[in-house]
Chains A and B, each alone.
Chain A
Amino acid sequence: MAPLFEIESLTHRYGSVLALDDLSLSLKPGAIGLVGQNGAGKSTLIKILLGLVRHTAGNVRVFGVDVIKNGVGLRGRIGYMPEREGVVPGLNGIEFVALAGELNGMPRKLALRRAHELLSQLGLEEARYRRLENYSAGMVQRIKLAATMVHDPDLLLLDEPTSGLDPEGRTAMLLLLKSLARRPGKSLVLSTHLLGDIEQVCRHAIILEKGAVAVSGTLDELLAGQPNAFLLRWKTVSDKADRDFLAALQREGAEATPGDEFGQARAVVSEQWQTQRFFQLARECGVTLTGLEPEEMDLRTVYCRLVGMDSASPPVIGFANRDESGVAAS
């Protein structure tokens, strides 16, 4: 499969700021999450990929095409949804999306038709002729998404797409992004601080730190917990019962560490361990288990550990935030 990005030794300076420092990355098409502190270089990287900003040094190719040599053509295959603003106030919904289409090389009639289609699909049919300044926050995000998708780009670059949305809006947007991510031959880059969103939508994640790639890997790789490690949850009856249970686990050869809150623990066991034993020990100590799970990290823990949070803090036992359908993300 032809690579999506090929970035070699990308360095970018503006003024006295070194935004990107010898960054190298090569990725296949797919759904990719982009994470990093403010100032780690995320927005700079996105602007360089779009060809909006000319980088100081290095080679950047998207779809095999150099971004400097053919920025304009490349932008016809990319859709960018900025975090803030990015709308033209005074226009109504249809005009805005049709304009976006025309600017991307679509003839007017086609752009209008696509605009109507997309607005229906995104639930903005009733507000089509309303001016953009009268749109609610959720509607603005959706119309921006429509403008990003109107020309059917091969790559979607989305910057905080769920920003400002209420829970219903977020759920709807994430469902939409998931379905967009699964289209064959199309890619999606999701840049956000909400790591749970990346876990739900993306297959691959890149963590930027101080202008370089700190980590790049599939979510399966990144979030794989230690094998034979389990997370346990139970209802706390008394301190003594809790302590007894942990001690019992230790005696049996399971390394048990208590979690942040009462009623949680992480146990690392041997290959031959039967999970039945957890229940038996719990019964013996008068404790009722309410949850058992093989350890899966969540992206936030991975990220925080990486970016150097207090390593002395106990393991954060958050049951994984992955796609709750339970069906393995194929």
Chain B
Amino acid sequence: MNDSSAIECIERPRAAWLAVWPIALTALRLVFRRKLFWLMLGFALLNFLFVFGAIYLLATLKAQQPEIGKMLSVMLPDLAGTGKTFLNFMLAQGTVTMILLAFAGSVLAGNDHLRGGLTFYLSRRINVLHYTVGKLLAIVLLVSLTTTLPALVLFLEQGMLGDTAKYFSENYNIAIGILGYGLLISVTLGLLLFALVSWMPRPVPLVMSWACLFFFLPVLSEILSKVFDDRQWRLLNLWRDIYAVGSRCFGEAAVRSRDVAQLSEAVVVIVVVCIVSFIAIMIRIRQQRHQS
């Protein structure tokens, strides 16, 4: 048991922050071990493949039979290769991602609260912050895998199938938009999910509250804004708020005019949600430490 290399590593252990990566990787590994998630990923992939194929087809048509290509471009503005294309693609992927997260939540972090995994983590050479960041990183990576990454791939595809240099130099802001929107989705949803999971680690309550936030609440917000004839109620729809801010990342052209007015309020809502989630997480973890 007295291994000299072990003694060596004790005398010079790595920085605690490097433990964040194994935490994230482990969480992801646990998610990917469940067959349910492969199914959901499959759905996300389907949409991606469909758009991938459509872009390819369109580009081929444009090159070989320009008239048909132009006609189709007009009919399908969404696939034009503008910022809008990617924005809407990510919106659609985002929906699948939301559902995925609802079920992944308990595997990613919920089990730690249920089965004493939290003690396992916190009694090591890390503190609460490292643990939280590790888990958030896992969620961010998962979300990126279903939204940001496919969007980037499509962006590259679009560029490479046309006039590469011209496309990329004109549309580099799309890349920024993709990354920005992706980051916004992952961080906001990540914090929110982690907060919910900390307080409701079991899968069923988690799915229900998640569904409440992202299906019930939007419906409610529409109804309320119609009933009170006040657009402020729409801010309750978090997903829409994220979309509004995210679309800003793609530049002016992508923004829907009627959303402009509410932009600053949407930002406020998102920031508040993030801060409250973070605080909730910290409170809950500190609470848990006293138990077990």
Contacts and interface: CB of A to CB of B under 8 A. Distances in A.
Contacts of A214: none
Nearest to A144: B120
Contacts of A108: 22
A50 B123 contact: yes
Interface string A113-131: 0100100010000000000
Most buried by B among A80, A102, A108, A117: A102
Report the contact-size class of chain A (Cβ under 8 Å from the partner): 35 or more
A75 B124 contact: yes
A211 interface: no
Contacts of B15: 105
B13 A86 contact: no
Given A47-B289, A88-B112, A110-B9, A104 B1 contact: no
Nearest to A179: B1
A99 B26 CA distance: 8
A100 B19 CA distance: 10
A197 interface: no
Interface string B258-284: 000000000000000000000000000
B116 A102 contact: no
Given A14-B290, A88-B112, A110-B6, A72 B14 contact: no
A151 B112 CA distance: 22
A217 to B, nearest CB: 28
B10 A76 contact: yes
A104 B7 CA distance: 13
A87 B10 contact: no
A87 B5 contact: no
Given A82-B292, A86-B120, A105 B5 contact: no
Contact of A105 (B1, B9, B112, B292): B9
A117 B10 contact: no
A58 interface: no
Interface string B97-121: 0000000000100011001110111
B125 A52 contact: no
B126 A72 contact: yes
A114 to B, nearest CB: 6
Contacts of B119: 52, 80, 82, 85-86
Contacts of B290: 14, 47, 53
B19 A88 contact: no
Interface in A241-276: none
Contact of B116 (A75, A87, A90): A87
B144 to A, nearest CB: 22
Interface string B1-33: 111011101100111101100110010011001
Given A76-B10, A152-B10, A121 B1 contact: yes
B117 A104 contact: no
A50 B124 CA distance: 9
B115 A76 contact: no
B232 interface: no
Most buried by A among B6, B33, B289: B6
A66 B122 CA distance: 18
9 contacts: A52-B289, A72-B16, A78-B123, A88-B117, A91-B30, A99-B22, A106-B13, A152-B3, A152-B10
Given A91-B26, A152-B7, 5 more contacts: A78-B123, A88-B115, A88-B117, A151-B9, A151-B125
9 A-B pairs with least C-beta separation = A85-B116, A105-B13, A103-B124, A76-B125, A102-B22, A80-B123, A90-B30, A105-B14, A86-B116
